[in-house]
Structure 1
Amino acid sequence: MKGEISLKDKNIVVCVTGGIAAYKVVNLVSMLKKQGADVTVILTENAAKFVAPITFQSISSNLVYMNIFDDRYSADIKHISLAQNADLVVIAPATANIIGKIANGIADDMISTTVMATNAPVIIVPAMNTAMYENPIVQHNISRLKEFNYTFMIPGVGSMAMPSEKGGIGRLPEPDKIFDYINNFDF
């Protein structure tokens, strides 16, 4: 990371996976837009159960993509064009599922295919239950992706979605912290 850069006219693809913290990413998209970034959002089907696509569409002023086979809007292959035009890809919240898919070369949804097709830097912001985050398989997948130059933001520590959980590492950082991380990232 270097000093703060301008986000004006940067093409940022924000990938939102199915975690309760997905609602926080609406604020992140808003912050990026206010700094002049062109933000396109990709949602998994599970993410859309937490935040409706229309919310991200309204905030980003761009279409929201969920399905690799949805060709209603253009003749181009969207996961390829998004990947090629991206200056940066951010996955937040990044579930254990999407981390595992990418680490093992599985490209079976809009997010995983876009990530596999991009040459842009990818920032992954994990968010999940502490036990899941600390699971050796998840940690192995994170280490593997770091070897391939994927960048990970360390999750926050604190209370989780389940009232019975005492808290621990795995919480999605607040949107302003993610924004600062992106704004100071050299891309």
Structure 2
Amino acid sequence: MAESRLGGGHVLVGVGGSVAAFKACDVVTELRRRDADVRVAMTDAATRFVTPTLLRALSGHRVAVDMWDGQNVESGHGMSHLDLASWCDLQVIVAASADLIARLALGLAGDVVTATALACPAPLLIAPAMEAAMWEHPATEGHATTLISRGVRILGPVRGRLASGHEGAGRMVEADVIVAAVEETLGTIARD
């Protein structure tokens, strides 16, 4: 990957419950290598694919999984999603499943990732990962269109081999594409 610096920008990496959740490790590692301050929030489903302990080691910060767990709260109001929303300069959600995209589009806030996205004024990037039939379903297409109309940037998915062994458009973009989009977006914010 090309060398650049994110200059201590605060990046929140949300991790969804797709099999591609393991790629969050590469995203977090590369963002930190480029001098970003990275925190991680995970859906419960994401923890079935990658552990909060691993992402804590990679990010250098506690990982938010439970909205009601006070260990991630710094402000004293008892709500980690509000702390994360006010802390970050940019939020990127990786391994976003069809379910997670639907919840984001509908404004549902039942987990720390969706609640933070709803409370966060910072730009939001989403990297979907799912079977092609799910990505191409009219419901998912509609939810993605809704998010795009609200200024969310959707990164991919791309065509490739999927977890099922099939080929199709549903594979999550690689970490370097996500990091480049984070750099571009933070660069745009800095110029404004």
Q: CA separation in 2, counterparts of 1:72 and 1:85?
A: 16
Structure 2 counterpart SS, 1:42: strand
Q: Which residue does 2:17 correspond to in 1?
A: 18
Q: CA separation in 2, counterparts of 1:143 and 1:69?
A: 31
Question: Which of these residues, 138, 143, 146, is aligned with residue 141 of structure 1?
Answer: 143
Q: CA deviation at 1:6?
A: 4.0
Q: CA separation in 2, counterparts of 1:67 and 1:104?
A: 20
Q: Which residue does 1:103 correspond to in 2?
A: 105
Amino acid at match of 2:109: A
Structure 2 unaligned runs (5+)? Answer: none
1:15-164 to 2 correspondence within 5 Å?
15-74=14-73, 75-76=76-77, 77-163=79-165
Q: CA separation in 2, counterparts of 1:128 and 1:50?
A: 14
Q: CA separation in 2, counterparts of 1:154 and 1:81?
A: 29
Note the alpha carbon deviations across 1:18-72, whole angstroms, 9 max, x for none. 1111111101100000111110001111111111111100000000010010013
Normalised TM-score (structure 2): 0.90
More helix by share: 2
Structure 1 counterpart SS, 2:41: strand
Aligned 8 A contact 2:26 2:175 in 1: yes
Q: CA separation in 1, counterparts of 2:20 and 2:96?
A: 10
Amino acid at match of 1:102: L
Structure 1 unaligned runs (5+)? Answer: none
Structure 2 counterpart SS, 1:67: coil
Alpha carbons of structure 1 residues 73 and 155: separation in structure 2 relative to 1, 3 Å: closer
Structure 2 counterpart SS, 1:72: helix
Q: CA separation in 2, counterparts of 1:146 and 1:5?
A: 27
Choose between structure 1 and 2 for higher RCO, CA contacts under 8 A separated by at least 6 residues: 1
Aligned length: 182
Aligned 8 A contact 1:5 1:184 in 2: no
Normalised TM-score (structure 1): 0.93
Q: Which residue does 1:172 correspond to in 2?
A: 172
Structure 2 counterpart SS, 1:51: coil
CA RMSD between the two structures:
1.4
The percent of aligned pairs where both chains have the same amino acid is 32
Q: CA deviation at 1:93?
A: 1.0
Aligned 8 A contact 1:29 1:39 in 2: yes
